[in-house]
Amino acid sequence: MTYNQEPAFTHGTPEKTAVLVINLGTPEAPTGQALRPYLKEFLSDPRVVEIPRPLWWLILNGIILNTRPKQSAAKYASIWMPEGSPLKVHTERQTTLLQGYLGEKAKGIVVDYAMRYGNPSIPDVLRKLKAQNCQRILLLPMYPQYAASTVATACDVVFAELQQMRNAPALRTVKHFHDDPRYIQAVAQNIRDYWTLHGRPDKLVMSFHGLPRYTLDKGDPYHCECRKSGRLIAEALGLDKEQYLVTFQSRFGRAEWLKPYTAATLAELGKQKTQRVDVVCPGFVADCLETLEEINMEVRNEFLHAGGGEYHYIPCLNERPDWIHALTGLALDNLHGWLDQPDAAQLEQGRLHALAAGAKS
């Protein structure tokens, strides 16, 4: 096997620890030309679409990639920010803030981000970290709830890249944080803050990204983790079962997906003449196409056209200080033993103090 060339090494160069934030990805521009390669990479992932490869290749290349890029480009254009894609903008900001917060706790730690699809790619960023002599890397996928099509596929790419390295770094992975109290409290406080400014709804809808139903049947824990997150957030807000709903959005294709569907649920609430609904997306820690266009535009229209009253979308956590503090704590929990350690003399002095204290007692 041929390995990638190792970076130039100088004896005495200190080893570094890195945190690699990983998110889904985004096209480079809101155009059909930019969407085509992005969608091809995304929809070619066997973790994302589990249809037999020959059949799916024909569907993807013969139909989807000839029609969907233009449609998706229009959606991206409707939410594009001056700085670029919202997901990329928020991920960059979160990474910068995490670097600052962690830098106060540990010297020399490196924090960077990569995208599973598109740029900056995971292999490129791993090589960048390698060049900085990062010999310990914590993978921090920005998905609160674990799914094979999100966390696992990001790890697949990391492991594949490490197979090309002669001197591979040590790795740790945050699998999920769906029930981490800091995450739950950040989401709950985000909702409280919105209600303080705008009042409370008749119904709170917590919408999570959907997955095909067969993923649950085959053992993916995603559905259960979404339900648990929803329950814990509702408990933190003091809501009873009649005051909130957990739903699933972004259905694609004709197969059955996790239910209840967000769009259908909001249409039904509209038919019931619900005076006000608030929708929040706890499965997304940064606003993106699925929140800003699908939930805040498409689903809003479903509710209003069905006869509903007020529709409020509550933004994602984005750069909230309590969320960045929660993210910092999550990273520190998983960096235990990797950060700057006391030298041997300090350890020995501490041991002698402990022995002396034990002898006196």
> Which ranges of 259-306 does DSSP label H, i.e. alpha helix?
262-271, 289, 300-305
172 and 248 fall within a common domain: no
pLDDT tens for the chain, 361 residues long, are 789 888 887 787 889 999 999 999 999 999 999 999 999 999 999 999 999 999 999 999 999 999 999 999 999 999 999 999 999 999 999 999 999 999 988 888 999 999 999 999 999 999 999 999 999 999 999 999 999 999 999 999 999 999 999 999 999 999 999 999 999 999 999 999 999 999 999 999 999 999 999 999 999 999 999 999 999 999 999 999 999 999 999 998 888 999 999 999 999 999 999 999 999 999 999 999 999 999 999 999 999 999 999 999 999 999 999 999 999 999 999 999 998 644 444 444 544 555 555 555 4
Which pLDDT score is estimated for 224? Answer: 98
User: What is the pLDDT, as a whole number, of residue 357?
Assistant: 52
Residue 252: the pLDDT is 87
Question: Are 218 and 259 found together in one domain?
Answer: yes
Statement to judge: residues 264 and 198 lie in one domain: yes
* CA distances, 152 to each of 92, 143, 301 (Å): 22, 11, 34
In this structure, is residue 342 part of a structural domain? no
In-domain check, residue 346: no
Same domain, residue pair 115 and 160: yes
Question: Do 305 and 246 have their domain in common?
Answer: yes
The per-residue pLDDT for 356 is 53
pLDDT at 320: 98
Same domain, 27 and 165: yes
Both 160 and 118 in one domain: the answer is yes
Domain CATH for 247: 3.40.50.1400
Domains identified in the chain, total number: 2
Positive or negative torsion for Cα 320, 321, 323, 324: positive
Do 62 and 149 belong to one domain?
yes
Supply the pLDDT for residue 342: 42
Determine the pLDDT at residue 348.
Answer: 46
Look at residue 355 in the predicted model and tell me its pLDDT.
54
Q: Does residue 303 contact residue 269 with C-beta atoms inside 8 Å?
A: yes
Torsion, Cα of 199, 202, 206, 207 (10° steps): -110
Cβ neighbours around 50 below 10 Å, total:
15
Give dist(CA 253, CA 269) in Å, integer: 24
Residues 47 and 168 in one domain: yes
Q: Domain check: are 76 and 92 in the same one?
A: yes
Does residue 220 lie within any of the structural domains? yes
pLDDT value at position 352? 52
Residue 353: its pLDDT value, please? 53
Distance separating the N- and C-terminal Cα atoms of the chain: 61
Give the pLDDT confidence score for residue 80 in this predicted structure: 98
Beta bridge partners of 276: 310
The answer to the question of residue 350 being in a domain is: no
* pLDDT for the residue 108: 84
Q: Distance between CA atoms of 207 and 191, rounded to whole angstroms?
A: 14
Please state, in angstroms and as integers, the Cα–Cα distance from residue 242 to each residue in 82, 85, 203, 205, 304, following that order: 40, 36, 8, 11, 21
DSSP H or E segment with residue 73 = helix 65-79
Range of the domain at 268: 181-314
The span from the CA of 40 to the CA of 208, in Å, is: 24
Nearest CA to 190 out of 330, 24, 326 is that of 326
pLDDT at 27: 98
Same structural domain, 116 and 79: yes
Q: Cβ–Cβ contacts within 10 Å for residue 4, how many? A: 13
Let me know whether 252 and 170 are in one domain.
no
